[in-house]
Amino acid sequence: MRFEKAEDLLNLAFAMQSNGEGVSLADIEEMFEVSRRTAMRMRDAVVRVYPQTEESVDEGRIKRWRISSATNGRHLALTPDELATLDMASKAFNGRGLRLQAKALRSLAGKIKSFQKCEASRRIEPDLEALIEAEGLAARPGPRPKIDPEHLHKLREAIKACKIVDILYRGKGKAEASVKRVAPYGFLYGHRHYLVGGGTEKGRETARYHFILSQIEGVMVMKEGFSRDRSFDIQAYAEQSFGIWHEKSTEVVWRFTPHAAEAARDFVFHPKQKVTIGKDGSMTVRFKAGGLLEMAWHLYMWGDQVEVIKPAVLKKMLDGHQHEWEGLP
């Protein structure tokens, strides 16, 4: 196979340099969406250009390849697209009330730019300005969660250090906040932002809970640590629900009419969804998740152009509330 896009090989070389453990063939397959045979050819091409590439075997007996950090840094060239994407991501974080992450991205962009030669920076600046203006994200008007950046900073530090935290938390409908001792695991971001944490009892982690970040009024990082449950995967945990509400998963089946199916095909309703298209042009989507209330909120915008086949309780929640659909905004 010929490689007409030399940028793929350069990007692979940069990946071999930036990853301290090196890059495996499986990593190459995933990064570039290629077959194992193509991944091997790409690796060989990079090794030919960089014969000083180091080969090692990790604890899982998987071969990895790494290039010394001093080798190809001088070839690093940033594109306006890459820098504009960083700017867009920073604005997106800021628009969601995540000022700490927005600040970190702006700092990262500044550090990356500092590696560029003055001549290169001047050359890409006009294109960068044009892209930012064309693709910039405006903060949408309307409500958004208000989060104290200092609280978020302490929680992130506690997560990295596996430290117990005491949070002053004002639960739903509560006039006063109370102290909750939590083993923090991570965050879920959506229309509201949540801390996912395990309750603790005599040094032992109990069930996991969601805490709305905007309702945390104080954070104290304790000296006491906790052992993180290595089997816990926050992505898999999030996929058990539609949205944020964590409920027992149930089988979900929705049928969109032929009139709405074209618009519905532009959505991914769940990462594990299965979609079938009927002979009449209708679309049926199936997945397993909890969070029926958020499902009802979402389905409301589809009006009378979606039928809930399963579960029955969700169908009952929508009965009498589906208006005439006028299309998506």
Q: Token match 């504009």: residue?
A: 84
CATH T-level fold of 6-75? Arc Repressor Mutant, subunit A (1.10.10)
What mean pLDDT value characterizes the chain?
Answer: 77
CATH 1.10.10 in the chain: give the residue spans. Answer: 6-75
pLDDT at position 138 is 45
Instruction: Give the per-residue pLDDT at 253.
Output: 93
Provide the pLDDT for residue 137.
46
Q: What is the mean pLDDT of residues 173-192?
A: 80
Residues composing the chain: 329
What's the average model confidence in pLDDT over 54-77? 74
CATH 2.30.30 fits domain 149-238: yes
pLDDT at 140: 46
**Lookup: tokens for 183:** 């083993």
* DSSP three-state, residue 169: strand
Q: What does the pLDDT read at residue 201?
A: 56
Q: How confident is the model at residue 125 (pLDDT cuts 50, 70, 90)?
A: low
| C-beta separation of 203 from 188 below 8 A | no
Least Cα distance to 162 among 236, 232, 237, 244 occurs for 232
Question: Kind and range of the H or E element at 199?
Answer: strand 194-201
Span(s) in the chain for CATH 3.30.70: 250-318
CA separation for the pair 230, 150 (Å, rounded): 27
Q: Which CATH number fits domain 250-318: 3.40.1350, 3.30.70, 3.60.21, 3.40.720?
A: 3.30.70
Structure tokens that stand for 322 in this block? 């589906």
- Residue 21's Cβ-side half-sphere holds a number of Cα atoms within 13 Å equal to 10
> Residue 133's pLDDT is what?
47
Label residue 262 exposed, middle or buried (CB < 10 Å: 0-12, 13-18, 19+).
exposed
* pLDDT tens string 78-94: 666 677 677 767 777 77
For residues 46 and 64, the answer to whether their CB atoms sit within 8 Å is no
Question: If pLDDT is split at 50, 70 and 90, which confidence band does 95 have?
Answer: low
Which two structure tokens, joined as six digits, stand for 247? Answer: 């409920």
Write out pLDDT tens, residues 208-264: 677 888 888 999 999 988 887 777 777 777 666 665 556 678 899 999 999 888 888
Query: How far does CA 324 lie from the centroid of its chain?
Result: 34
For the chain, where do the domains classified as CATH 2.30.30 start and end? 149-238
Percent of the chain with pLDDT over 90: 10
Task: Kindly state the DSSP code that residue 170 receives in the 8-state scheme.
Answer: -
Residue the block writes with tokens 């002979």: 279
Comparing C-alpha atoms, which of 54, 55, 50 is closest to residue 10? Answer: 50
Identify the three-state secondary structure at position 207: strand
Rounded Cα distance between 45 and 63, Å, is: 17
CB 282 within 8 A of CB 256: yes
